[in-house]
Structure 1
Amino acid sequence: MRGAALMTAAMVTFTINDTFTKVLSEALPLWQLIFLRGLGVTVCLLILARAMGQLTYRLPRRDWFYMWLRAAAEIGGAYFFITALFNMPIANVSAIMQVLPLSVALAGALFLREPLGWKRLLAILIGFGGVMLIVRPGGADFTSYSVYALLAVACVTLRDLVVRKLSRAVPSLMVSVVAAVGVTVFAGAASLTETWQPLAGWDVFHLAGATVFVIFGYVFSVTAMRVGDIGFVAPFRYTSLLTALILGVLVFGEFPTVPTLMGAGIVVATGLFTLFRERRLNLLRPVVPSRIR
């Protein structure tokens, strides 16, 4: 239950960070925003990793390659997600991102040869149908930014698949530190192509809010996966959608359409089914004791 509470807190704080970020879209260029937020995130993650003894540089080249590949996927995900967030209702973007457990399961089966039964495959296809209800290609609300949200899903899926290739010797916070450094450095270089804007009083407050809440999101999510059973904790990720719906109405006056709500419901239902099936299959698999080295 403590893991579930921490995962809920992580999703709420991540979504509040998204809200602050969306508010800043009217004041700051994209890469300047990502760079300034990334500075604070990187410093805090370095301090946290050092305090927890997870800051290490003696890792195999193979792990470094996968960590930097993951960082590249993180850069693409940040660009596409924040661009979509700047130009779409926050609830719509959040609803599309809820398809991640489905896309990761499908990509794992296609590229990593992970087992995928027909029931989960059917749930994934239905879930993608729910995404189409949200995006509605050819509809009046469909824009290029809807495609950006889907590309963000693709980048984050790659990011999550790469993690599975890392050895157990790599600390989880070290992976986050490398990603934060990669995103910040790339954003800093890309921001040189933009005209930097001065920060007004409220802009500083919103930027600080985005930085603080994304840091808390990292801390809560890492702690949740450490203290709670993954199969039990993972479904609580969907609280981010409820938070996005509430904040979209209260902060931006964005009321989701009926098709969007229907699509979001389908995505969440199929995602929960997929997580339930994966948990059940893991419980049925025999436990093979690992060799002591």
Structure 2
Amino acid sequence: MTPPTDDPETPVDELIPVPAKGSTDGSPLVAIGLMLLACLLFSCLDATAKFLSQSIEPMQVVWIRFVSHSVIAVFLFRIWTRPKALKTNRKGLQVVRSFALLLTTLFNFLAVQYLQLAETISIMFAAPFLVTALAGPLLGEWAGLRRWIAIIVGFCGVLLVTQPWSGQLHWAVIYSVLSMISYAFYMLLTRMLAITESSMSMLMVSGVVAALAMTPIGVSVWVEPPSLLHWVLLLSTGIYGLIGHWILIIAHRLAPASLLAPFLYVQIIWMVILGYLVFSDVPMWTTAAGTGVVVASGLYILYREQFLKKA
């Protein structure tokens, strides 16, 4: 699952041992390296979920992903010494955001059962277009004509990847589209909450709420104890998700979002490599072409946003 492509201006949070935003101790090159590493971790998360879904119920994988996320976070950040870590001023929105992340993960894990990793990430890259479209009525950030043209072009790129006219459209694309829509709302809620909420509370609440919500389902689908290998892979999903989001926060403390956002699209390279190495998947030319259109449109939207800010 890809991280948000915009910078929510996360307030400096003493609960997370990272430099303050704009710290002179940081370096743009270090921030870019962290961004690339985060994209690799998110790609490993999706590849692991796809591998596990071949022998384990996806609902169980989602449950363990958030349980391990929460448990690791408690010990990594020593929550018992920082009781204020979970303090939140907007409990309702925090819960809604957590469910948006849960649905994003759930639908994505269901989609990777049947689709290539390159296909799922290409559809997920359409989320910024939906965010741009919804930011007007929800946040008062209205898109101009040029950005709307970029949104339409990007949507055409998604159509090129899915090819609904070919008659060979896999029904699991619906899962990927639902994951993308959930992710767009997750991004919007992140922007809304980051004004008042700490990074730590957003990391912890999203994991705990999702874990608790999935517990009844996760327990009900549990058939037999996983093997040792499966246990290691299940626990690794929480590590990939938690550490990926954590270093993403660090990267945005060291460099502006305008510098880092284009490097998010490197994730498609990681996805193609892992898809080929682990599952022997070779993307079709239409997937590559459609992804190129989506990436180009996303970069143009980013350019217009930065241009308008300077203007």
Decide: shared fold, TM above 0.5.
yes
Partner of 1:175: 202
Out of 244, 247, 258, the residue aligned to residue 220 of structure 1 is 247
The TM-score normalised by the length of structure 1 is 0.90
**Cα distance between partner residues in 1 of 2:193 and 2:61:** 30
Contact 1:45–1:173 (CA under 8 A) maintained in structure 2: no
- Alpha-carbon shift at residue 23 of structure 1 (Å): 0.7
| SS in structure 1 of the partner of residue 88 of structure 2 | coil
| Runs of 5+ consecutive residues of structure 2 not aligned to the other structure | 1-28
**Cα distance between partner residues in 1 of 2:309 and 2:223:** 50
Q: Give the aligned length.
A: 282
Q: Cα–Cα, structure 1 residues 192 and 255, in superposed 2: closer, same or farther, change >3 Å?
A: same
Contact 2:88–2:201 (CA under 8 A) maintained in structure 1: no
What is the CA deviation profile of residues 37-82 of structure 1, one whole-angstrom value per residue up to 9, with x for unaligned ones?
222211222344557969434433xx11110011111121111111
Contact 1:28–1:197 (CA under 8 A) maintained in structure 2: no
Contact 1:83–1:148 (CA under 8 A) maintained in structure 2: yes
**Cα distance between partner residues in 2 of 1:99 and 1:22:** 21
| Runs of 5+ consecutive residues of structure 1 not aligned to the other structure | 285-293
The TM-score normalised by the length of structure 2 is 0.85
Alignment RMSD: 1.9
Is 1:56 aligned to residue 96 of structure 2?
Answer: no
Specify the code of the residue in structure 1 equivalent to 2:144: G
- Alpha-carbon shift at residue 124 of structure 1 (Å): 0.8
Is 1:7 aligned to residue 35 of structure 2?
Answer: yes
Partner of 2:58: 30
Out of 264, 278, 282, the residue aligned to residue 255 of structure 1 is 282
Specify the code of the residue in structure 2 equivalent to 1:19: A
Q: Taking every aligned residue pair, what percent have the same amino acid on both sides?
A: 25
Is 1:42 aligned to residue 70 of structure 2?
Answer: yes
- Alpha-carbon shift at residue 198 of structure 1 (Å): 1.8
Is 1:165 aligned to residue 170 of structure 2?
Answer: no
Out of 234, 247, 267, the residue aligned to residue 207 of structure 1 is 234
Is 1:84 aligned to residue 111 of structure 2?
Answer: yes
| 1:105-144 alignment runs, 5 A limit | 105-144=132-171
Specify the code of the residue in structure 2 equivalent to 1:258: W
- Alpha-carbon shift at residue 238 of structure 1 (Å): 0.7
- Alpha-carbon shift at residue 268 of structure 1 (Å): 0.4
What is the CA deviation profile of residues 203-256 of structure 1, one whole-angstrom value per residue up to 9, with x for unaligned ones?
123223333322321222111111111111111111111100111111101111
Q: Cα–Cα, structure 1 residues 141 and 173, in superposed 2: closer, same or farther, change >3 Å?
A: farther
**Greater CA deviation, 183-192 or 81-90?**
183-192
| SS in structure 2 of the partner of residue 192 of structure 1 | helix
**Cα distance between partner residues in 1 of 2:63 and 2:267:** 24
Contact 1:32–1:196 (CA under 8 A) maintained in structure 2: no
Contact 2:128–2:298 (CA under 8 A) maintained in structure 1: yes
Contact 1:80–1:149 (CA under 8 A) maintained in structure 2: yes
